[in-house]
Structure formats: structure tokens, C-alpha cells
Amino acid sequence: MDEQIINEEQITAKKYLSISEMAKDLGVSVEVLRKWERDFPRVIHPLRTSGGNRLYDAKQQEKVAMVHRLLHTHGMTIQGAKRVLSNRGNEEETRQEVIQKLLSVKTRLLNIVQELDNLK
């Protein structure tokens, strides 16, 4: 997996949370966040500083919060949460396919309208 390394200017330009800040916000330990990172490698992959410190941007904060909700609020197991998150990914792929098909149909319809206008 490619880990993105960010520099100090990027940290001050955007809102990033350290692993300890993220853990505190969720009420879990940093060890739990590290475990989730191992358990959900396709979902949770925080940015890293040049020193190797984990930083969570808004997108990663949202994903970690979703894992927290599935495990703690909904009482799911790790495997159950993985299934839910996997299905969400499949739903997003399906949604994108439908959008592409609709855009293709729209383009064809606009071409037909233009051809009809040219016949007048």
C-alpha cells in the first residue's frame, strides 16, 4: 500500500488529527486505532509525516468514525463491519456505473435532439 507522506506546511494548511487526538475524540486508545488500521487496511490508512507519525485528515476521520460506529454503536464484529464496508464499496461502484450509463444516455439524447433540430 502506498503511504502518502506529508510535510509540515500541509499540516498547518489543513486540519489533521494525530492518532492521540483521534483516539481521544472517539474515546478509544491509540492501540485500538492501530489495530483497526491493521484490521481495515482498505478503509483506514492515515497519512504519515516524514517522521512516521499518523495523521488523520477529514476523510480518514470520517472512515474511522464509521468503523467506531459499526463496532461500538451497532455492536458488530470485525468481520461483520468488514462485510458492511465492503458492500458500501460495491454500492459506490454500482452507483458510479449507473451515473456513467445515464450520462451516456443523456449525450445520445442530446445528439438526437440536435439532429432533429437540423432537420427543421
Cα angle, residue 26 at apex, residues 24 and 32 outer, rounded to 5°: 85
Q: Could you tell me if residue 112 is inside a domain? A: no
Q: Could you tell me if residue 43 is inside a domain? A: yes
User: Which residue from 39, 35, 43, 41 is spatially nearest to 89, judged by alpha carbons?
Assistant: 43
Q: Report the pLDDT value the prediction gives residue 10, as an integer from 0 to 100.
A: 47
Tell me what the mean pLDDT of segment 55-72 comes to.
Answer: 93
User: What are the backbone dihedrals phi and psi of residue 55, each rounded to the nearest 5 degrees, phi first?
Assistant: -135, 135
Q: Could you tell me if residue 17 is inside a domain? A: yes
Q: Could you tell me if residue 27 is inside a domain? A: yes
Q: Could you tell me if residue 80 is inside a domain? A: no
Q: Could you tell me if residue 101 is inside a domain? A: no
Q: Which three cell numbers stand for residue 37?
A: 488500521
pLDDT at residue 13 tops 50: no
Tell me what the mean pLDDT of segment 69-82 comes to.
Answer: 93
Q: Could you tell me if residue 85 is inside a domain? A: no
Residue 28: give the domain boundaries.
5-75
Give the number of domains in the chain.
1
Cα-atom radius of gyration of the chain, to the nearest Å?
A: 21
Using one digit for the tens of pLDDT, what is the confidence trace for 84-114?
Answer: 888 776 666 667 778 888 999 999 999 999 9
Q: Could you tell me if residue 47 is inside a domain? A: yes
Using one digit for the tens of pLDDT, what is the confidence trace for 29-58?
Answer: 999 999 999 999 989 999 999 999 999 999
Q: Report the pLDDT value the prediction gives residue 4, as an integer from 0 to 100.
A: 53
What CA–CA distance (Å, rounded) separates 22 from 75?
A: 20
Q: Report the pLDDT value the prediction gives residue 95, as an integer from 0 to 100.
A: 72
Q: Report the pLDDT value the prediction gives residue 86, as an integer from 0 to 100.
A: 83
CATH of the domain at 11: 1.10.1660.10
Entry pTM: 0.63
